[in-house]
Structure 1
Amino acid sequence: MTETITVHELAKISRQLILWNQHPAGSYVACPLFSHYGFSWLRDGSFIAYAMDIAGEKDSAGRFYEWVRRVLDRQRDRVEQLLHKHANGETIAQHEFLHTRYHLDGRDDDHSEWGHFQLDGYGAWLWGVAEHWKRTGIDELPESFRSSVELTIRYLCAFWKQPNFDCWEERNDQIHPSTLACIYGGLSSIHRFVHMPEIADVVNDIRLFLLKHCIHPEKKYFVKSIRPAADSNSYDIGFEGVDASLMWLAQPFQVFGVDHAIMNATLAELEARLKSADGGVRRYVGDEYYGGGEWILLTAWYGWIDYSAGQYEQAAESLQWIARQADAWGRLPEQVFHSLASKDTYEQWVHRWGTPATPLLWSHAMYLVLYSQLYG
């Protein structure tokens, strides 16, 4: 980054980059210059829309939520079939579930090797659209959204304990606390607009499930993932370390406060294992994607957590670290390679797919979120 770009200028650049890369249909492309990311993810898009709401671009956010509404309305028959099979105890293959990403015009992402079955984006969408309505002064569920919202609630309530891909498109045989956080946050937020009795039950069940099954037995922090045991009535730890996405349990979904003993232990473990001396935050120990570098959006999340805990100076340090990662045009990548776990693996990914995705709209969105905390 050149010294002429300030943190304030980078906020303006971030907002403009997101606006430029919103499809006329309302979707946000994950990265316009990285062919593998030329789609719109419900998870990424919901956080991007949240950032645009905060940045004063409420029309942009609204168009994204409308785009998802149209996508889900077209999926009604498919979801009803899934719910029917679930009610009858029939086996459902993972490819039958809703996809995690869609083409920018709303078509399904068929015939790709990507990790399709993810529940986090549908929970994030419920949370995001509820936040959008609160920010725009809407107190009742808009009738045009009733079908898509109620369908999503029923889908999540039925399948929240189903193993599926995590937010990094990995480990599809496991259950992920960060995914459960998205579902919890979505159902909790939408409950003020939709009074379906199962919502409160599932929200309570998710919290109890996390406390019963997702804690490291000795170190008492939340683990990255668990998997159903052979007897199907219990769970084994799938990955006993932490993942930076566990921060979602605190912000923004507020399953646990930062002062909760287990959440506090999780954040301490995250800092010890995943925060580099330089200030960036990695995904998890052993990450091989582009060598396991430091992610912009996760560093912003770390700053968000610090801010919510009253650690304003540390939050500002995270913002400054992010700003230093921007290129001469103010573009932020997905990750940087200052503290790579494996430089050989990084080079293998570069040879396979090219350099890491830049600009990543989710990176710019989370910069805006942290910026708004510090500068209003």
Structure 2
Amino acid sequence: MTTVPLSAPPDDLTDTEVARLRRLAARSHAVITAAQQPGGAYPACTSFSAYAGYAWFRDGAFTAEGISRYGDVASADAFHDWCARVLASRADAVRDLVRRAGTAEPPTVKEMLPTRFTYAGDAGQDPWWDFQTDGYGMWLWAVLAHARRHRRPLHAWLPAIETAVDYLCAFWDRPCYDWWEEHVEHRHVSTLGAIAGGLAAAADSGHLDPDRADAARRAVAGIRSLVAAEGTVDGHLAKWLGADAVDGSLPACIVPFGLVPVGSPVASATLAAVQRDLDVDGGVHRFRADVFYGGGQWPLLSALLGWNHAAAGDTASAWRHLRWIAAHADSHDELPEQVADDLLHPEHRQEWLDRWGPVAAPLLWSHGMYLILADELGLLDSRPQDFS
């Protein structure tokens, strides 16, 4: 079994550590596929009280990207099949939502597509911060990246892709909850970036009809103009339009979603601002005001920032993030949602422990992001693997 060369490994990286990092990649694949449901859904975390029984397009899109890069085509296919069924079952509802988008009585927040679904693809019955558009853009990007990487036919997924494109073209500029299920009153730059990334991938795929492709490109152009005018401050991307704070999700606007080009002044300033305000020793916080479990560091955000550093040619920083993530795997080589080494607001940790119990672990999104960064640094096998 051949492997690609490691990408500029640090001088102190030993063969023993390389083997350990590769074992964590294999363990990440095992954790994800063991939790994957028979219908294809990737649960967020099967053991966490608030997440058990539910799957998100957002978490799943990145998890599927990691699995696709690892070479498990069947697992990624099954997830995308599940997403396509979820959207196909709502095609009529989306057509009605789109029809009403420009009327005097547009759809209410409660009428919009949910952000999380049961494993069977139904809307959840528990109260949740449910109107988020980012996941639909992320799924478009992920399914098209997977299809291109493994030369998968798109005909089974195309109706759902068209439904997602129509939905996002109609509602991309509407305020909604962000990646963290907060602040429904704002238009979040990371959300806009995910939508732009998905719509651009769909428009460039060559599989949309001309009218849809044109609509997608117009939406992407509108997003770029809006973010340039209202979503940047001091030369870097901001948490939401008109804000001056940054968010750990903002690097996704560079890689993978391409809202701003790698190496551009805005991209470089954004990475620098995130590193300055949110990165501590390789672990990345969500945002400075974060009180969720005291505001810890998130392995998935460390992987995202590392992915961006790798794309920008800063492999030393990328390795630093990968090693930090690996150092925070537990004795079973499982990765949590966040770690408590450097809490921003420790006085709030106990209230969340009392409310929801211990931090979610293993979080499939964390493992999926580890696989992505490991692949960027040459730690994954170079050939598609047979998991049948």
Aligned partner of 1:204 in structure 2 is 221
Contact 1:280 1:318 in 2 (8 A): yes
Aligned partner of 2:326 in structure 1 is 323
Matches within 5 A, 1:81-92: 81-92=96-107
Partner amino acid, structure 2, of 1:214: G
Q: Matches of 1:302 and 1:200 in 2, distance apart?
A: 27
Residue 42 in structure 1 maps to residue 57 in structure 2: yes
Residue 16 in structure 1 maps to residue 30 in structure 2: yes
Contact 1:141 1:194 in 2 (8 A): no
In the TM superposition, structure 1's runs of 4+ consecutive aligned residues that sit over 6 Å from their partners are none
Aligned partner of 2:278 in structure 1 is 274
Structure with bigger RCO (C-alpha 8 Å, 6+ apart): 2
Q: Which runs of 5+ in 1 are unaligned?
A: 227-236
Q: 1:106 aligns with which of 108, 121, 140?
A: 121
Q: 2:372 aligns with which of 357, 369, 374?
A: 369
Residue 187 in structure 1 maps to residue 199 in structure 2: yes
Residue 262 in structure 1 maps to residue 266 in structure 2: yes
Q: Matches of 1:330 and 1:168 in 2, distance apart?
A: 25
Q: Matches of 1:125 and 1:67 in 2, distance apart?
A: 11
2:232 aligns to what SS in structure 1?
coil
Q: Matches of 1:333 and 1:146 in 2, distance apart?
A: 34
**TM-score scaled to structure 1, two decimals?**
0.92
Partner amino acid, structure 2, of 1:249: C
Change (3 A) 1:222 1:62: same
Residue 150 in structure 1 maps to residue 167 in structure 2: no
Q: 2:82 aligns with which of 67, 71, 74?
A: 67
Q: Matches of 2:357 and 2:98 in 1, distance apart?
A: 41
Aligned residues: CA RMSD: 1.5
Contact 1:122 1:183 in 2 (8 A): yes
Residue 167 in structure 1 maps to residue 179 in structure 2: yes
Q: Matches of 1:85 and 1:7 in 2, distance apart?
A: 51
Contact 2:63 2:365 in 1 (8 A): yes
Residue identity over aligned pairs, in percent, reads 38
CA shift digits 1:189-217 (9 cap, x unpaired): 1122213221111111111111011112x
Q: 1:352 aligns with which of 349, 352, 355?
A: 355
Once the 2 structures are TM-superposed, how far is the Cα of residue 352 of structure 1 from its aligned partner? 1.4
Aligned partner of 1:6 in structure 2 is 20
Once the 2 structures are TM-superposed, how far is the Cα of residue 365 of structure 1 from its aligned partner? 0.5
Q: Which runs of 5+ in 2 are unaligned?
A: 1-16, 381-388
Partner amino acid, structure 1, of 2:320: E
Once the 2 structures are TM-superposed, how far is the Cα of residue 109 of structure 1 from its aligned partner? 1.2
Once the 2 structures are TM-superposed, how far is the Cα of residue 263 of structure 1 from its aligned partner? 2.0
Q: Matches of 2:64 and 2:336 in 1, distance apart?
A: 19
1:71 aligns to what SS in structure 2?
helix
2:101 aligns to what SS in structure 1?
helix
Aligned partner of 1:232 in structure 2 is none
Aligned partner of 1:234 in structure 2 is none
**TM-score scaled to structure 2, two decimals?**
0.89
